[in-house]
């Protein structure tokens, strides 16, 4: 990056944020599509239903990586924290911010996710208005954040 860019005038991302949601529950995935719908100008939301497809997608040569992964903590089959650990062990994929979506604010689960290097833990329970506010804040924050190359 040239020195001339070391003091950017505009910190907000001008490009579309690519968010990859790993969610095996179809109705939960639909709900997330609904709350991301107001942000279609700034966010591209892709959804995959399980961890195996996540790794297939991310490890396909030439495929472009998402800017952030939203990972459901309560996936059927492979535990989400194992998925997180695998991502964080990979020399390339470890840079991806992984925000864990939890149905509970149980402090043990929250701490485990952070200890596994989740970027953040977002609780998806509560009413629709609360979830919408959380997703709005998620989008806003990540648009102001600089993402890994």
Partner 1 sequence: MPDTVPAVHTLSMGRPLRVLLVDDAPTDRELTREAFTGHKRAVIIDTCANGERALSFLHAPDTTLPDVILLDLNMPGLTGFDVLAQLKDHPRLRAIPVVILSSSSDTGDIDRAYSLHASSYLIKDVDFQRFIEQIDAFVNYWVRNCTPVRLRKLN
Please report, as ranges, the residues that interact with partner 1 according to CB under 8 A: 1, 5-12, 88, 94-97, 102, 105, 107-108, 110-111, 114-115, 117, 119-123, 126, 130, 133-134, 136-138, 140-149
- Please state, in angstroms and as integers, the Cα–Cα distance from residue 57 to each residue in 48, 94, 149, following that order: 9, 15, 17
Residue 49 or 65 with smaller CB distance to partner 1: 65
Select 11 or 26, whichever has its Cβ closest to partner 1: 11
Smallest distance, partner 1 to C-beta of residue 11, A: 4
Q: What are phi and psi of 20, to 5 degrees?
A: -110, 120
In the bound state with partner 1, the residue whose beta carbon lies nearer, of 50 and 93, is 93
Cβ distance to partner 1 smaller for residue 49 or 103:
103
Distant-in-sequence, close-in-space partners of 112: CB < 8 Å, separation ≥ 6: 81
CB of 37 to partner 1, least distance (A): 18
Closest of 43, 94, 101, 35 to residue 73, by C-alpha: 101
- Judged by CB, which is closer to partner 1: 44, or 119? 119
Sign of CA dihedral 53, 59, 64, 70: positive
CB of 25 to partner 1, least distance (A): 20
Alpha-carbon span 31 to 124, nearest angstrom: 10
The answer to whether residues 100 and 71 touch, using CB atoms and an 8 Å cutoff, is yes
């Amino acid at each position: 990056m040239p020195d001339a860019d070391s003091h950017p005038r505009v910190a907000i991302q001008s490009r579309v944020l690519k968010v990859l949601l790993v969610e095996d529950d179809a109705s939960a995935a639909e709900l997330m599509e609904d709350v991301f719908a107001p942000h279609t100008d700034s966010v591209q939301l892709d959804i995959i239903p399980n961890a195996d497809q996540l790794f297939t997608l991310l490890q396909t040569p030439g495929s472009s990586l998402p800017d952030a992964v939203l990972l459901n903590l309560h996936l059927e089959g492979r535990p989400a924290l194992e998925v997180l650990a695998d991502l964080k062990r990979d020399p390339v994929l470890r840079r991806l911010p992984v925000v864990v979506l939890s149905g509970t604010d149980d402090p043990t689960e929250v701490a485990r996710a952070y200890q596994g290097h989740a970027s953040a833990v977002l609780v998806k329970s509560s009413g629709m208005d609360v979830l919408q506010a959380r997703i709005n804040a998620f989008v806003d924050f990540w648009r102001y954040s600089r993402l890994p190359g």
